[in-house]
Amino acid sequence: MNSKTGVLLGRLMCNIMRSPDTIITVAITPIMMMLLFVYVFGGAIDAGTDNYVNYLLPGILLMAIASGVAYTSVRLFTDVKSGLMARFITMPIKLSSVLWAHVLTSLVSNALIVVVVILAALSMGFRSSADILDWLAAAGILGLFTLALTWLAVIPGLTAKSMEGATAYSYPLIFLPFISSAFVPTETMPKIVRVFAENQAVTPIVNAIRALLYDGTVGSSIWIALAWCAGIMLIACFFASKLFKRQLG
């Protein structure tokens, strides 16, 4: 990370720290979802675990990240519409630093959100037998997932015509975990739904994180999860960079 990226990252993080309600607001929804599913629906759901919150937490973390990255779109949209982006273009800085500052801000802010959600899960009975390497591997997957969704968020942040348009893309991402193994085993789903659930990105990511933190048998799901995250990130980064260069032109 060069010095210019660090300065721009500091600017964005200062804005977030001055308005911590952003992080609190994003964290509240997944925590409420976790409370609802554990204490209202949990008794009727057979997930094959002795503590449903252990099964549920990975999917809730992905939902929290999907909600959090929407603010990347908002911050980019605000910079573009306010004319701040045009001012950055005239300055003697590497222009990729502008995008990377937003991406790294998303990574840091979503890490804080993940910590808040995990603390809430611990208070609800979440327990993990994972060692430090397992936790680091799970953190790596969550970080890569955050980067993938953040680069996706850059695209509407640069192209949207309204604030609502900048954030609308995140809604399908937030609800995608519902059609996956995040809340119930895919074996309980009708065949057509099960085929979709087992072949979309969220299921292997959830399975890999759950195995690292709770089950202990990771298998091939971790490699599938990494492939999904890396593939989405590379494709989104390519198109986001093209759009950014087009705006500069």
For residues 38-53, b (16+ Cβ closer than 10 Å) or e, as one string?
Answer: beeebeebebeeebbb
Kindly report the number of other CB atoms within 10 A of residue 57's CB atom. Answer: 28
Which pLDDT value is given to residue 3? 65
The pLDDT confidence band at residue 21, using thresholds 50, 70 and 90, is: low
Distance CA 226, CA 141 (A): 7
Which pLDDT value is given to residue 168? 80
Q: The tokens of 175 are what?
A: 């609800």
Over residues 99-114, mean pLDDT: 88
Residue type, 43: G
The whole-model pTM stands at 0.89
Over residues 127-150, mean pLDDT: 93
Which pLDDT value is given to residue 173? 83
Report the range out of 14-23, 66-75, 188-197 with the highest average pLDDT.
Answer: 188-197
Residue with tokens 């399975």: 207
- pLDDT greater than 80 at residue 232: yes
Mean confidence (pLDDT) of the chain: 85
Which whole-number Å values give the CA distances from 167 to 25, 85, 104, 163, in the listed order? 15, 19, 18, 7
For residues 232-242, b (16+ Cβ closer than 10 Å) or e, as one string?
Answer: bbeebbeebee
Which pLDDT value is given to residue 68? 87
Which carries the bigger pLDDT value, residue 172 or residue 66? Answer: 66
How many CA within 13 A on the CB side of residue 231?
8
Which pLDDT value is given to residue 93? 66
- pLDDT greater than 60 at residue 158: yes
- pLDDT greater than 80 at residue 199: yes
Kindly report the number of other CB atoms within 10 A of residue 90's CB atom. Answer: 7
What phi and psi, each to the nearest 5 degrees, are found at residue 131? Answer: -90, -175
Q: Residue 229 — left, alpha, or beta (φ > 0 → left; ψ -120 to 50 → alpha)? A: alpha
Distance CA 27, CA 24 (A): 5
Over residues 113-138, mean pLDDT: 92
